Amino acid sequence: MRTARKRPQPVKKPAKVEIANLAGLETKLGYHFTDIDLLKTALTHQSALDGQDGERQSYQRLEFLGDRVLGLAISDKLYRAHPEVIVGRLSRRLSDLVRWETCADIADEWALQTYIRFAANIGAETRHSRSVLADVCEAVLGAIYLDGGYAAAAKVIDLFWAPKLSQSDRPAQDPKTALQEWVQARGLNPPVYRDLDRSGPDHEPVFTVSVEIPGFPACEARASSKKYAQQSAAESFLLREQIWTSKP
């Protein structure tokens, strides 16, 4: 008896809601992609991917590129807008405008939190992480650069960073810079940041870091990357010693 051959199952098309969502994000950005897969990659957390190639297929590589594109675009705008300003002040202003807190604020304007794709079992701490938001913001800029070139990326950066560029020329310092300048002014040894622990899976790591200055108790902090854990530890030190009376 002949066995009936099974018909191949049709490939499911992406849900219309996904297309609508991405179209909405493109409208917010003021940029429409030729290769929409670039934007999808920029919005994909490593946890949402199967296999060992999560770094290449997630936002991580695009975030690396977008960070450099953002730095170049902001440096160019500062250089042209402030011909009389010395390099030290330009560097501090650049640091303020590309810091992760600023990128997370821009991500809020784009409502990126509603677009990022995570694995179903990822906890709220990662889903609502400000550092993840900042990284995805830079990944989106990297995707725009690859899709439309530097001019397209610079146009988006100009649109959303312009209000911050026009703010006071005295930026709010990041905690590590503020702590470094505080110890230098007092002739103390530079802060030492020590890696204390790394826990969690590769797609959801938690780093514990301490900052140590001779003559003061160490301060510890945890975050999803070493960079953000160091910033948080420095901020805790500044607040504890009342160098800062509140978060900037």
Q: Are 196 and 209 in contact (CB under 8 A)?
A: yes
Domain with CATH 3.30.160.20 in the chain: 175-240
Concerning whether 241 is annotated as a catalytic residue, the answer is no
Residue type at 147 in one-letter notation: D
Task: Give the tens place of pLDDT for each residue, 45-83.
Answer: 888 876 555 556 889 999 999 999 999 999 999 998 888
Q: Are 37 and 137 in contact (CB under 8 A)?
A: no
Rounded Cα gap, residues 185 and 79, in angstroms:
28
Could you tell me how far CA 241 lies from the centroid of its own chain?
Answer: 28
pLDDT for res 234: 92
Element (H, E) at 109: helix 100-110
Catalytic residue among 63, 67, 135, 235: 67
Catalytic residue among 63, 96, 135, 138: 138
Q: Are 178 and 245 in contact (CB under 8 A)?
A: no
Token match 């936002």: residue? Answer: 59
pLDDT over 50 (residue 31): yes
Query: Which pLDDT band, with edges at 50, 70 and 90, does 11 fall under?
Result: very low
pLDDT for res 194: 94
Concerning whether 37 is annotated as a catalytic residue, the answer is no
Domain with CATH 1.10.1520.10 in the chain: 16-165
Residue 57 burial by Cβ neighbours in a 10 Å radius (0-12, 13-18, 19+): middle
Token pair for 115: 């677009």
Q: Across all residues in the chain, what is the average pLDDT?
A: 83
Q: Are 42 and 142 in contact (CB under 8 A)?
A: yes
Q: What is the CATH number of domain 16-165?
A: 1.10.1520.10
Give the Cβ contact number of residue 240 at 10 Å: 12
Fold exhibited by the domain 175-240: Double Stranded RNA Binding Domain (3.30.160)
Query: Which pLDDT band, with edges at 50, 70 and 90, does 36 fall under?
Result: very high
pLDDT over 50 (residue 15): no
Residue type at 227 in one-letter notation: K
Task: Give the tens place of pLDDT for each residue, 192-205.
Answer: 999 999 988 777 78
